[in-house]
C-alpha cells in the first residue's frame, strides 16, 4: 500500500497527501455484572487532500483498491478547485518525514474469553469486597490508529499506535444522594501490554474505594478563589486546556489572546511547558507520533520556557500564514477526517518542590486529586471538572469534597504558581481531545501550587 500511495502522490498536480487509515477498537462494558458492551470495531479507508490557491479539497472512501484511490484523488481535486481560494503568498513547508513506527504488542493476543474474564472477575471482586455499593461500572477498551501516508513532497510513513484503558466507577448512597467516583488505568500499548491482573489492581481499587468513602462523608467546597495544590494527575489537563489550546495557531489566527503575548512573560518563571513528538520527553507518554498527517516530521515545541511564551502549534497552512515552521501537529482522527492543528504529548516540566511542602504551605485551600473533562477558550479562560479532592486546613488534609469545577484565566493563573513538584505523571489511560474531531493525546506534568476559582454551593 505504501508503495502505491508514494507512486500516486508523486503524480499529484499540486501539493497533496494520500492516506490509508484504520482505527481498530474494542470495548467491554459491564454494569452490576450485566455485560452491556462486548465487541470490536474496525473503520478504514482512503483519503486524498489537495491544495489549490490557498484552500484544500478533501475526499475519502471506505476502500483500499486502485480505482477507489483514483476516485478520491479526482474528487479531492474537484473539491479543491470548487473551494476557489485566493492564491496564497509563500509555499507550504516541504519537510518530509519517513519511517515505520509499529508499536503493536509483541505478546500473544488475549482471546475474547480472556478479555471478558478480566472484567467479570474484577466485577466479582469489587462487589464481594465492597458490598454496600449502589453501582459498579467496569469498562475495558482499546484503540489503535494505523496509518500509511505519502505526500507529494516525498513523505512516506507507516505507523500503528495502540492504547488501552480500564475504567472502574463505584457509586454509594450518601445522606444527600448518590456519590460516584471513577479512576482509570492503562495507557500506551494494547490490552496485552497492561497490568490488569488482580494482584496489581487490588491496591488501586482499595484507594479508589477509600476516596469514594471519604467523598460520601465529605461536603461541598466553598465557591470562590482559593489556594490549591493540583496533584500531578491533574497537571496534564492543565497543560492541555489552559495553555495548549490557546496556543494552537488556527485559534491564534481566529483571535486567541495568546497571539498578543508571544515573547512575553505569561507564567511564573518556574513554568516550562512543551508539546512533544515521540512519546514525550521521558519516552513514557500514553501516545506516540513521529510523522504527522501532513507528512511533517515531528519536532518538540517549547510553548512556554521559564514563564515566557515562545511558540505556537502549527500545521503547514498556519505556519505559512504566520511565517513559522510546522513541527508535526497536523493530525486526523479517521480516514474521513482532514488533519487539524492538534496537540500531541503536552506537559509541564517537573520542578524541585515536594508535594508535602506544597500542602503544608496552605493555610486554607484545597488539594485536588483527579480531573474529569475540561474546556479551553480564546481568552485563555479554562475549566476542568474535579471529582476527587480534599480541604486543606492549616497545612493538613481535611475532609473530602464533592465534585466541583475549577477555572481560571491561564495567563493570570500561571503567574500565581509558587511551587512546581519534583513528581511527574502522564494522565492514565491517555487523554482524548475534541475539536471538530476527537483525537488521542498525551498529557502530563508535576503537582503544582497555585490559585484558582472553584465552583460550589458551599
**Of 44-83, which residues contact other proteins (CB under 8 A)?**
44-45, 47, 54-64, 75, 79-80, 82-83
CB of 432 to other proteins, least distance (A): 14
Query: If DSSP codes are grouped into helix, strand and coil, which group holds residue 10?
Result: helix
223 binds other proteins (CB under 8 A): yes
* Site residues (CB under 8 A) for other proteins, limited to 349-368: none
Q: Which of 10, 13, 39, 396 binds other proteins (CB under 8 A)?
A: 39
Shortest Cβ distance from residue 214 to other proteins (Å)? 16
Q: Is 91 exposed, middle or buried (0-12, 13-18, 19+ CB in 10 A)?
A: exposed
Question: Quick one: 11 or 175, whose CB is closer to other proteins?
Answer: 175
CA dihedral 122, 124, 129, 131 (to 10 degrees): 130
Residues in the chain: 458
Among 11, 87, 90, 177, the residue binding other proteins under the rule CB under 8 A is 177
Q: How far is the CB of 74 from other proteins (least distance, A)?
A: 11
Residues 90-119 that bind other proteins (CB under 8 A): 111-113, 115-116
Q: Which is nearer to other proteins, 302 or 409 (CB)?
A: 409
Give the nearer residue to other proteins in terms of CB position, either 34 or 203: 34
Rounded distance between C-alpha atoms, residue 233 and residue 445, angstroms: 8
Comparing CB distances to other proteins, the nearer of 135 and 195 is: 135
Does 373 sit near other proteins (CB under 8 A)? yes
**398 lines the binding site for other proteins (CB under 8 A):** no
Matching residue, cell 501532513: 294
User: Per-residue x/- marks for other proteins, 236-275, CB under 8 A?
Assistant: --------------xx-xxxxx--x---------------
Beta carbon of residue 34, minimum distance to other proteins (angstroms, whole number): 6
Q: What is the rounded distance in angstroms from the CA atom of residue 442 to the CA atom of residue 432?
A: 8
Report the b/e string of 308-346 with b at 16+ CB within 10 A. Answer: bbbbbbbbbbbbbbeebebbbbbbbbbbbbbbbbbbbbb
Choose among 83, 59, 36: nearest CA to 317. Answer: 83
Select 53 or 100, whichever has its Cβ closest to other proteins: 53
CB nearer to other proteins: give 304 or 386.
386
Residue 445, Cβ density class (10 Å: 0-12 exposed, 13-18 middle, ≥19 buried)? buried
Give 57 or 278: the residue with its C-beta nearer to other proteins. 57
Q: How far is the CB of 291 from other proteins (least distance, A)?
A: 22
End-to-end CA distance of the chain: 60
The Cβ of residue 226 has, within 10 Å, a number of other Cβ atoms equal to 21
- Using rule CB under 8 A, residue 144 touches other proteins: no
Q: Applying CB under 8 A, which of residues 130, 324, 409, 423 lies at the interface with other proteins?
A: 409
C-beta closer to other proteins: residue 57 or 297: 57
**What is the nearest approach in angstroms of other proteins to the Cβ of residue 455?**
3
Classify residue 291 by burial, with Cβ atoms within 10 Å: 0-12, 13-18, 19+: buried
Residue among 367, 234, 294 at smallest CA distance from 93: 294
Number of residues this chain uses to bind other proteins (CB under 8 A): 89
For residue 256, the minimal CB distance to other proteins (Å) is 7
Q: Which spans in 141-283 are helix H?
A: 198-217, 232-237, 249-254
Residue from 94, 306, 416, 453 binding other proteins (CB under 8 A): 453
- What number of other Cβ atoms are within 10 A of residue 380's Cβ? 24
Q: Which of residues 146-175 bind other proteins (CB under 8 A)?
A: 171
Q: Is 453 exposed, middle or buried (0-12, 13-18, 19+ CB in 10 A)?
A: middle
Beta carbon of residue 409, minimum distance to other proteins (angstroms, whole number):
7
Q: Say how far apart CA 190 and CA 48 lie, in whole Å.
A: 29
Question: Does the footprint of other proteins cover residue 211 (CB under 8 A)?
Answer: no
Indicate the DSSP class of residue 415.
G
Task: With contacts defined by CB under 8 A, name the span among 24-32, 273-281, 290-298, 306-314 that binds other proteins.
Answer: 24-32
Stretch that binds other proteins, among 12-20, 192-200, 204-212, 373-381 (CB under 8 A): 373-381
User: Hey, which residues between 118 and 137 contact other proteins (CB under 8 A)?
Assistant: 120, 134-135, 137
**273 within 8 A of 348, measured Cβ to Cβ:** yes
Sole binder of other proteins in the list 219, 281, 360, 385 (CB under 8 A): 385
Amino acid at each position: 500500500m505504501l508503495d502505491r500511495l508514494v507512486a500516486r502522490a508523486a503524480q499529484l498536480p499540486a501539493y497533496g497527501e494520500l492516506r490509508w487509515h484504520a482505527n481498530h477498537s474494542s470495548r467491554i462494558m459491564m454494569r452490576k455484572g450485566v455485560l452491556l458492551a462486548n465487541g470490536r470495531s474496525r473503520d478504514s479507508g482512503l483519503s486524498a487532500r489537495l491544495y489549490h490557491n490557498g484552500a484544500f479539497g478533501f475526499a475519502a472512501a471506505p476502500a483500499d483498491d486502485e480505482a477507489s484511490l483514483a476516485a478520491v484523488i479526482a474528487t479531492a481535486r474537484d473539491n479543491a478547485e470548487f473551494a476557489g481560494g485566493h492564491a496564497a503568498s509563500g509555499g507550504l513547508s516541504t519537510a518530509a518525514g519517513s519511517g515505520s513506527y509499529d508499536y503493536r504488542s509483541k505478546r500473544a493476543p488475549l482471546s475474547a474469553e480472556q478479555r471478558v474474564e478480566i472484567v467479570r472477575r474484577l466485577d466479582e471482586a469489587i462487589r464481594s469486597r465492597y458490598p454496600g455499593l449502589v453501582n459498579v461500572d467496569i469498562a475495558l477498551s482499546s484503540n489503535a490508529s494505523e496509518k500509511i501516508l505519502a505526500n507529494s513532497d516525498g513523505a512516506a510513513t507507516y505507523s500503528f499506535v495502540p492504547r488501552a484503558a480500564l475504567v472502574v466507577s463505584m457509586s454509594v448512597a450518601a445522606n444527600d444522594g448518590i456519590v460516584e467516583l471513577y479512576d482509570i488505568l492503562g495507557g500506551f500499548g494494547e490490552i496485552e501490554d497492561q497490568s490488569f491482573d488482580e494482584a496489581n489492581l487490588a491496591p488501586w481499587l482499595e484507594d479508589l474505594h477509600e476516596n469514594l468513602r471519604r467523598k460520601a462523608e465529605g461536603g461541598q467546597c466553598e465557591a470562590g478563589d482559593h489556594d490549591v495544590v493540583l496533584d500531578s494527575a491533574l497537571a496534564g489537563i492543565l497543560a492541555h486546556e489552559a495553555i495548549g489550546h490557546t496556543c494552537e495557531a488556527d485559534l491564534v489566527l481566529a483571535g486567541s489572546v495568546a497571539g498578543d503575548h508571544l515573547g512575553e512573560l505569561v507564567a511564573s518563571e518556574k513554568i516550562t511547558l512543551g508539546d512533544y513528538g515521540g512519546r514525550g520527553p521521558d519516552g513514557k507518554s500514553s501516545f506516540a507520533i513521529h510523522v504527522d498527517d501532513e507528512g511533517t516530521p515531528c519536532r518538540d515545541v517549547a510553548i512556554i520556557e521559564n514563564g515566557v511564551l515562545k511558540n505556537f502549534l502549527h500545521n503547514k497552512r498556519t505556519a505559512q500564514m504566520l511565517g513559522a515552521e510546522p513541527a508535526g501537529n497536523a493530525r486526523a482522527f479517521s480516514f474521513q477526517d482532514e488533519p487539524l492543528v492538534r496537540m500531541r504529548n503536552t506537559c509541564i516540566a517537573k520542578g524541585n518542590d515536594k508535594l508535602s511542602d506544597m500542602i503544608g504551605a496552605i493555610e486554607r485551600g484545597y488539594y485536588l486529586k483527579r480531573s474529569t473533562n475540561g474546556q479551553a477558550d480564546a481568552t485563555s479562560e479554562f475549566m476542568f471538572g474535579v471529582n476527587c479532592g480534599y480541604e486543606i486546613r492549616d497545612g493538613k488534609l481535611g475532609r473530602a469534597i464533592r465534585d466541583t469545577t475549577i477555572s481560571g484565566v491561564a495567563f493570570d493563573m500561571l503567574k500565581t504558581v509558587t511551587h512546581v513538584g519534583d513528581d511527574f505523571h502522564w494522565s492514565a489511560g491517555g487523554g482524548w481531545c475534541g475539536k471538530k474531531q476527537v483525537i488521542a493525546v498525551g498529557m502530563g506534568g508535576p503537582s503544582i501550587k497555585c490559585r484558582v476559582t472553584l465552583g460550589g454551593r458551599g
